[in-house]
Amino acid sequence: MTRKILFVTGTRADFGKLEPLAIAARDDGFEVGFLVTGMHMLARYGLTKLEVHRVAGATVHEFLNQREGDPQDLILAKTIVGLSDLMVETQPDLVVFHGDRVEALGCALVCATNYIRSAHVEGGEVSGTIDEVFRHCNTKLAAHHFVSSEDAKRRVMVLGEPAERVHVIGSPELDFHAASSGVTLEQVLTHYEIPFADYGIAVFHPVTSEADSMGQQARDLFGALQDSGRNFVVIAPNNDPGSADIFKVLNALPKDRFRLIPSMRFAHFSELMKNAACMVGNSSAGVREAPFLGTPSLDIGTRQTNRAQAPSLFTADAGERAAILDFLTREWGHRYPPHTAFGEGRAAARFVEVLKTPGFWDKGLQKTFQDHA
- What is the mean predicted confidence (pLDDT) over 360-364? 93
Residue 38: C-alpha distances to residues 35, 181, 275, 336 (Å): 10, 26, 30, 35
Q: Return d(Cα 80, Cα 157) in angstroms, integer.
A: 27
CA neighbor of 91 nearest in space, from 119, 73, 115, 74? 115
Lowest-confidence region among 4-8, 126-130, 210-214, 318-322: 126-130
65 with 78: CB under 8 angstroms? Answer: yes
Q: How confident is the model at residue 352 (pLDDT cuts 50, 70, 90)?
A: very high
Residue type, 366: Q
How many Cβ atoms are within 10 Å of 85's Cβ, its own excluded?
A: 12
Note the pLDDT tens digit of each residue in 41-51.
Answer: 998 888 899 99
Pinpoint the alpha helices (H) of the chain. Answer: 12-27, 49-53, 72-90, 102-113, 130-141, 150-158, 173-178, 185-191, 214-227, 243-251, 266-274, 284, 290-293, 321-331, 347-355
Is-contact 21 121, C-beta < 8 A?
yes
Residue 208 has pLDDT above 90, yes or no: no
Q: Does the pLDDT at position 117 exceed 90?
A: yes
Q: Is 234 helix (H, G, I), strand (E, B) or coil?
A: strand
d(CA 368, CA 277) in angstroms, rounded, equals 48
Q: Is the pLDDT confidence value at 128 over 80?
A: no
Best CA proximity match to 270, nearest among 149, 171, 188, 169: 188
pLDDT digits (tens, 9 = 90+) for 244-301: 999 999 999 999 999 999 989 889 999 999 999 999 999 999 999 999 999 999 999 9
CB atoms within 10 A of CB 27: 12
Q: Considering only CA atoms, which of 224, 230, 223, 160 is closest in space to residue 200?
A: 230
- Domains of the chain, first to last: 4-170+346-355 (3.40.50.2000), 181-331 (3.40.50.2000)
Cβ-based neighbours of 238, under 8 Å, separated by 6 or more:
11, 13, 39, 45, 205, 206
Q: What does the mean pLDDT of the chain come to?
A: 94
Q: Is the pLDDT of residue 216 over 90?
A: yes
Average pLDDT (4-12) is: 95
pLDDT digits (tens, 9 = 90+) for 24-47: 999 999 999 999 999 999 988 888
What average pLDDT does the segment 17-21 reach?
A: 96
Q: Taking 80 as the threshold, does the pLDDT of residue 373 lie above it?
A: no
**pLDDT, tens digit (0-9, with 9 covering 90-100), for 144-180:** 999 999 999 999 999 999 999 999 999 999 998 999 9
**Confidence band of 372 (pLDDT split at 50, 70, 90):** confident
d(CA 167, CA 153): 7
Q: What predicted TM-score, i.e. pTM, was given to this entire model?
A: 0.87
Residues 6+ apart with CB under 8 A from 327: 278, 280, 296, 298, 314, 316
Indicate whether 308 pLDDT > 90. Answer: no
Mean pLDDT of the 124-140 span: 89
Residue-level pLDDT at 13 = 87
Over residues 58-63, mean pLDDT: 96
What integer pLDDT is reported at residue 68 of this predicted model?
83
- Mean pLDDT for 93-117 is 96
> What's the confidence (pLDDT) of residue 66?
92
Instruction: Report the percentage of the chain scoring pLDDT > 90.
Output: 85
Closest by CA position to 313, among listed 347, 278, 348, 365? 278
Torsions phi, psi of 33, nearest 5? -140, 160
- pLDDT higher than 80, residue 129: no
Q: Please tell me whether residue 239 adopts helix, strand or coil conformation.
A: coil
* Separation between Cα atoms, residue 365 and residue 113, nearest integer Å: 10
Task: Assess contact for 27 and 355: CB atoms under 8 A.
Answer: no
DSSP 8-state code for residue 19: H
